[in-house]
Amino acid sequence: MEKLLARNPVYEQFFAREAERLASACQSMAQRFLRGGRLLALGRGVYATDAQHVAVEFVHPVIVGKRALPALDVSALAGIGIEPLITPEDIVMGFGPPGGDPVVRTALETARGSGAMTFALPGRNGDYAVECFSADPFQHQEMIEILYHTLWETVHVFFEHHELGSEAGDAGFLYPFLGSGQTQPSGGSAAVLREVASSIRMKVADDARLRERVAREEWEAIGNAAQAIARSVRSGGKLLLFGNGGSATDANDWALDSIAPPEGMRPIPAISLAAEPAVLTALANDIGSDVIFLRQLIAHAKAGDVAVAISTSGGSRNILASLEEARRRGLMTVALLGYEGGEVVRRGLADHAIVVRSDYIPRIQEVQASVYHVIRELVEAAFHE
């Protein structure tokens, strides 16, 4: 339980310090998007999954009615060169480990020289740069996920404010002071930035309360899942991970954390069924999206493997079909879920179900990241018992 709770003061302290600077950066991002700019994100290894995740969030907003913003994961070009893609109105976001990544750093320097706005996550040089706040790579990555979710949410608020003045429309529930019927804060732009910064701090506090609830209500399930995974791996099994959208990037991240873990941890076999775009698009095109994980599971699953589903809703048809197939094949099943667990829980499709009880997807995903990182740590500890 302490492993989860220890994260809260670290993250709250960081965002208490950074909220106003983040609000200002979001305002600048919104202005660039309005002028036709794009978000280009890149990282290497496990940090490429953050570039994948932020691209998904901006292109496919989870709130109905929000605009799709141009964002690309350009991680494949790290070390090759992103110059041909960059325009002066773009935003370039680089991800890396706590100590930074020299290849990503070089790409950001190139982007800045071309007039683009840059985010160094982490780094010292950028229009928004944050140095290492934690040597723990898992905590570092979780904090960065909270940060780019905040960017996505806040950019849309500035759009609403720009277009509707004091009327925020559908953004009202994100930042109540901009909601319909509210008065624009006195003091102009500076007051708006202060109010947005306050809301950012409130969101991180909500995140902390949700993490506390999970630690209190789900800790036994987390520990049991970790022990079961460790037993499977000791017996020659592997993890088969899958999810949609942001959960697909989490499946990719968990798989990479398994096979290429932080220094000092033992690699364990894992495959993300969300990591093969040619296979995914072939199956979706020829058969349908309901089978994109199921068919891969049939191809890869062996006795003793563990099927791990990540879902915020717990109701996606391709998730349910894959868990059903895993059950038919005698695989152990683990599910990391949001809301109340959805159909996965109602139909009892997971031997180990861990539920982050919230109805807001960014907060669910942030706490899910903490959960699967803790599971990875507990699996490692089990090898030393």
Per residue in 140-171, pLDDT (tens digit) is 999 999 999 999 888 888 887 665 443 434 43
pLDDT in tens, 365-377: 999 999 999 999 9
pLDDT at 160: 72
- What is the percent of the chain where pLDDT is above 90? 82
Rounded average pLDDT over 48-55 = 98
30-69 in b/e form (b: 16+ CB < 10 A) is bebbeeebbbbbbbbebbbbbbbbbbbbbeebbeeebeeb
CA dist 324 and 128 (Å) reads: 45
The model's pTM = 0.91
Checking if the pLDDT of 173 tops 60, the result is: no
pLDDT in tens, 322-354: 999 999 999 999 999 999 999 999 999 999 999
Pairing of strands 332-337, 39-42: unpaired
Domains present along the chain, CATH in parentheses: 2-184 (3.40.50.10490), 209-383 (3.40.50.10490)
pLDDT at 288: 97
Checking if the pLDDT of 384 tops 60, the result is: yes
CA dist 351 and 365 (Å) reads: 21
pLDDT at 342: 96
Number of residues in the chain: 385
| Closest to 353 in 3D by CA, of 363, 370, 366, 339 | 339
pLDDT at 12: 95
Task: Calculate ∠ Cα 336-338-344, nearest 5°.
Answer: 65
Checking if the pLDDT of 315 tops 60, the result is: yes
Rounded average pLDDT over 310-321 = 97
pLDDT in tens, 124-145: 999 999 987 788 999 999 999 9
pLDDT in tens, 244-260: 999 999 999 999 999 99
Reported confidence tier of residue 194, pLDDT bands at 50, 70, 90: confident
Catalogue the E-assigned strands of 67-225: 71-73, 91-95, 117-121, 128-129
| Closest to 175 in 3D by CA, of 156, 147, 190 | 156
Rounded average pLDDT over 191-197 = 86
Q: What is the mean pLDDT of the chain?
A: 91
Q: Which residues pair with 306 in a beta bridge?
A: 239, 332
